[in-house]
Amino acid sequence: EVQLVESGGDLVKPGGSLRLSCAASGFTFSTYSMHWVRQAPGKGLEWVSSISASSTYKYYADSVKGRFTISRDNPKNSLYLQMNSLRAEDTAVYYCARAFEYRNSPGGYWGQGTLVTVSS
Amino acid sequence: DIQMTQSPSSLSASVGDRVTITCQASHDITKYLNWYQQKPGKAPKLLIYDASRLETGVPSRFSGSGSGTDFTFTVSSLQPEDIATYYCQQYDILPCTFGQGTKVEIK
């Protein structure tokens, strides 16, 4: 059974940093691209970042470019999102999602999400 | 970036009604469109991919159609458990982008 479990969400002050983790199991992690998608309270879904299976390609939304860094550790079956220079507008539930086999998009497997709150 | 315009933003329908949601892309995305269902406090659930392909395990009352820039999502007979917010999402080009969502309620 495919499982994705996010962790690391917390309350952080504006300008602070946080590192989110996503633990994957039930599939060959090293063969799939992975994504982060976020959802601000009461708002819609916003794609944040993706990373290819071997970490060769990394993509970011303009809203986080230069502040967030996506990475992965394939032997540890883990995905990460390093978030720096956090702003109030980064407050959201952050989901990790596995990509389709054939196309780089979030697909049918998502974690339960972890809440990041940026507030003084 | 490709903009996804989803409508309506909300709708109210009776159990058994046919419900339709539309999504329009700002550029041709061929068939690369997902439809998700999201219930409060839960992660999105993939229902339809490649515009019209039903995800495994999803009831057949859900369907999708369209290609290019215009897409439709249909629930053929609305059930109480279908109360949720539905999102379209294009994946032709990164950044993948989502529609604004349609909140479906029971009348």
Q: How confident is the model at residue B82 (pLDDT cuts 50, 70, 90)?
A: very high
Residue A74: exposure state from Cβ atoms within 10 A (0-12, 13-18, ≥19): middle
Q: Output the pLDDT for position B73.
A: 98
Interface contact flag, A105 B96, Cβ < 8 Å? yes
Q: What is the pLDDT of residues A105-120, one digit of tens each?
A: 998 999 999 999 999 9
Find the mean pLDDT for residues B96-105.
Answer: 98
Q: Output the pLDDT for position A62.
A: 97
The C-alpha atoms of residue B91 and residue B68 are separated, in whole angstroms, by 12
**Residue A96 in this model has a pLDDT that exceeds 90:** yes
**Residue A101 in this model has a pLDDT that exceeds 90:** no
Neighbours of B89 (CB within 10 A): 24
Does residue A18 contact residue A8 with C-beta atoms inside 8 Å? yes
Q: What is the pLDDT of residues A11-66, one digit of tens each?
A: 999 999 999 999 999 999 999 999 999 999 999 999 999 999 999 999 999 999 99
Q: What is the pLDDT of residues A68-90, one digit of tens each?
A: 999 999 999 999 999 999 999 99
Q: How confident is the model at residue A103 (pLDDT cuts 50, 70, 90)?
A: confident
Q: Output the pLDDT for position B61.
A: 98
**Does A113 touch chain B if contact means CB atoms closer than 8 Å?**
yes
Distance from CA of A47 to the nearest CA of B (A): 6
The C-alpha atoms of residue B17 and residue B9 are separated, in whole angstroms, by 18
Distance from CA of A107 to the nearest CA of B (A): 7
**Residue B25 in this model has a pLDDT that exceeds 90:** yes
Enumerate residues 14 to 53 of chain A having a beta carbon within 8 A of any beta carbon in chain B.
Answer: 37, 44-47, 50
Closest C-alpha to A20, from A105, A117, A114: A114
Share of chain B above pLDDT 90, in %: 100
**What's the whole-number average pLDDT of chain B?**
97
